Structure 1
Amino acid sequence: MINRNNGVALVTGASSGIGLVTAKALVKAGYRVFGTSRKPIADSQGITMLICDVTDDASVQALITEIVEQTGRIDLVVNNAGIGLLGGAEESSIAQAQRLFDVNVFGVARVVNAVLPVMRKQKGGRIVNMSSILGLIPSPYNAFYASTKHAVEGYSESLDHEVRSFGIRVLLVQPGVTRTSFEENLTRADQPLSVYQSERVRSENLMRTWVEKGDDPQVVADTVVRAATAKKPRLRYSAGKQSGQVRSLRRFMPERLVDRVLRKVNGFNA
């Protein structure tokens, strides 16, 4: 278990939304917290904000170097930085999909690769990677985004086994739909097709409704703190009731029934 009175935590994508609420929760839990954003932003409420572009190797390495120079260590990393992509799979160019993976998957890997030497040297640390219920189950018109979260799931579980002998754990937090700004960090397919328009618009409106009724970001932040401080951490943590329900759906229901439920929830004909 990390000594929270002396722990140094890094939260990527901490300028707003889940990242900001998580950073505040970690400050309250006793960590010295560094947050990142892509643009300059003032420090606030005990969070030291630093600029970082997770798609740039040099930017990520400079971030880790600066934190270590200031504190001598990094005990916890929360990989929260990410972007969304709404649209049919056929409606996104490969370049757009690659950009999504560069942020959501390889951005995580860049931060991890930069911090692992620090954690090995100090003989311990914890990495919490932000997944999603879409890392458990698919969602129409979110194909590439869901793919990035499935990738984070597989990457994190494999990595956890690789680094555990160094006293390092890699964990996953799986939020459900959360009440954040719907448009925040959301991109839309760059080559929309008329054949998908009506269903795409319906799916977007449905998602907007889900977001309005979603979990408070504090639910996710509290789950991150629980994962970060657990004496015997689990690999996966469901954040909120919806996430737990989806996890059970995938785990226990027959595949045909899962398919039927998904189509019904998303308004598709059987």
Structure 2
Amino acid sequence: MNTVMITGSSSGYGLETACYFHAQGWTVIATMRDPRASSLPVSERIQVLPLDVTDANSIAAAVEAAGPIDALVNNAGIGLIGAVEATPMPLIRQIFDTNTFGTIAMCQAVIPQMRERQSGTIINVTSSATLTPMPLAALYTASKQAIEGFTGSLAHELGYFGVRARLVEPGYGPTTRFAANSQFRIADLIPDAYAGFAGPIFEAFAGAEVTTRESDVAEAVWLAAQDRTDRLRYAAGADAVALALAG
């Protein structure tokens, strides 16, 4: 029986992906900062573990408790909407600590066991924002774009050992963790000088059609885990697919 470890599983894409893999018969290691927030069903094939991807000790403890991992899904992330000039460096570092360095640290933690077994798949969830410029998201995009380049190189590095590295690129879904984690930061990160620019953008976001369902992302992650080709990118959602084809 295969085992998948998913970061950021308390809600959104992570929760849906955990449920999807469980439905396919996999053992699921669902991780989150606070396991009390879990809404996953009770099952002998679901283990909920505490994990903070910015804490080395937390990562080591979770990976040890999980045992052999066939697929790692790096889904944990936080969003940021704001003007570059108004975003404090400590907040920028927080974004990169989770979205970029947290993903890299998780990869470092599971690569040795996958390399030794000469099997396994690492799936890093980024964003369609990496496929086309998105206003007021330069810093968030940078944190995810770094993972795009990292994963592409990692795929070559690990392919020698029979281990795969993949990218899943979700499109626009306002119910995602990106939206939830971005909203409380917007007011302080948009200077008055940007009002004429930002106003129409937020109106467009508010009225935009949801093109990516949580199930779209779960299915893309599943495909990435099952695929035995050398494919690197898996778009999730209509707009992400269109951008990927256009690129």
TM-score, normalised on structure 1?
0.84
Aligned partners of 2:85 and 2:138: how far apart in 1?
Answer: 9
Aligned partners of 2:153 and 2:230: how far apart in 1?
Answer: 16
Aligned partners of 2:40 and 2:168: how far apart in 1?
Answer: 25
Aligned partners of 1:227 and 1:191: how far apart in 2?
Answer: 36
The 1:215–1:192 alpha-carbon spacing in structure 2 relative to 1, beyond 3 Å, is: closer
1:168 paired residue number: 163
1:52-63 matches, within 5 Å, as 52-63=51-62
Cα offset, 1:43, TM superposition = 6.6
1:229 paired residue number: 226
Cα offset, 1:198, TM superposition = 3.4
Aligned partners of 1:115 and 1:208: how far apart in 2?
Answer: 39
Indicate which of 151, 158, 161 corresponds to 1:156: 151
Cα offset, 1:38, TM superposition = 1.0
1:200 paired residue number: 198
Indicate which of 15, 18, 24 corresponds to 1:23: 18
Aligned partners of 1:213 and 1:81: how far apart in 2?
Answer: 21
User: Is the 1:21–1:221 contact (alpha carbons within 8 Å) kept by the matching residues of 2?
Assistant: yes
| Pair 1:95-2:75 in alignment | no
Residue-pair matches, total: 240
Matched AA of 1:237:
Y
Aligned partners of 1:131 and 1:44: how far apart in 2?
Answer: 23
Aligned partners of 2:119 and 2:150: how far apart in 1?
Answer: 19
More displaced 10-residue stretch of structure 1: 38-47 or 226-235: 38-47
Runs of 4+ displaced beyond 4 Å:
none
Cα offset, 1:209, TM superposition = 2.7
Cα offset, 1:248, TM superposition = 2.8
Aligned partners of 1:40 and 1:201: how far apart in 2?
Answer: 38
Aligned partners of 1:132 and 1:157: how far apart in 2?
Answer: 15
Aligned partners of 2:227 and 2:31: how far apart in 1?
Answer: 24
User: Is the 1:156–1:172 contact (alpha carbons within 8 Å) kept by the matching residues of 2?
Assistant: yes
| Secondary structure in 2 matching 1:64 | helix
1:266 paired residue number: none
Instruction: Report the RMSD for the aligned CA atoms in angstroms.
Output: 1.7
1:245 paired residue number: 242
Cα offset, 1:166, TM superposition = 1.2
User: Is the 1:79–1:108 contact (alpha carbons within 8 Å) kept by the matching residues of 2?
Assistant: yes
What 5-or-longer segments of structure 2 have no aligned partner? none
User: Is the 2:10–2:39 contact (alpha carbons within 8 Å) kept by the matching residues of 1?
Assistant: no
Cα offset, 1:29, TM superposition = 1.5
Matched AA of 1:235:
L
Aligned partners of 1:180 and 1:202: how far apart in 2?
Answer: 20
Aligned partners of 2:60 and 2:139: how far apart in 1?
Answer: 27
Matched AA of 1:193:
P
Indicate which of 40, 44, 47 corresponds to 1:44: 40
What 5-or-longer segments of structure 1 have no aligned partner? 1-5, 252-270
Aligned partners of 1:102 and 1:87: how far apart in 2?
Answer: 18
| Pair 1:136-2:131 in alignment | yes
Cα offset, 1:183, TM superposition = 4.2
Aligned partners of 2:230 and 2:206: how far apart in 1?
Answer: 33
Percent pairwise identity: 36
Cα offset, 1:82, TM superposition = 0.2
